[in-house]
Amino acid sequence: MTTTPDTTSPDPLHRFRELFARAADRAPTDHTAMALASADAAGHPSVRIVLLRGVDERGFTFFTNYQGRKARDLDANPHAALCIYWPWMDAQVRAEGPITRVSGAESDAYFATRARGSQLGAWASAQSEPLASRDVLEARVAELEQQFAGQPVPRPPFWGGYRLRPERIEFWHAGASRLHDRFLYLRDGDGWRMQLLNP
């Protein structure tokens, strides 16, 4: 089902939140999955799927291990791009901008909502590093289960969130004969300006 954006709102983040909510209502798969592209200090690109865990007037938030490859890229070159696509609505959103770590308090609050198995997994995984075998990883999880038995699992100091503050956001909506609708928003001071793009 094609979903055309409301072009009356001057705020693309507000528009995104409305579209995101509609995607959730109809989602046959995880509507929070998005591609995140980064580049290292030498400009070599990398892309992977992460989960969008928050969006507000400050931007788009996700969480990860601060010692993995994506975090090393983001810390060395703190600019990124994301793309989220909902094929069941024929809609795509792209955003680009600078990226920063969220506060420890915000990371703590989100970590506390994760399933306990995911919390233990965050401690167990030396993300992106070589792994001798699956048995090694599972043994580490078992050790952590004993270590934290009967108590809440605290957030690892090497795990937390990033927020992308968009400087440009583009909404794409499929059109007949590939005459797609593209609405580009560019940050302009404290506000935004919108322009149409050719498909």
DSSP 4-49: PPPTT-S-HHHHHHHHHHHHHHH-SS-TTEEEEEEE-TT--EEEEE
* DSSP state letter for 174: -
Q: Of 169, 172, 190, give the one whose Cα is nearest residue 181.
A: 172
Residue 178 among the catalytic residues:
yes
Which residue in 48, 94, 168, 178 is the catalytic one? 178
* Residues marked as catalytic: 178
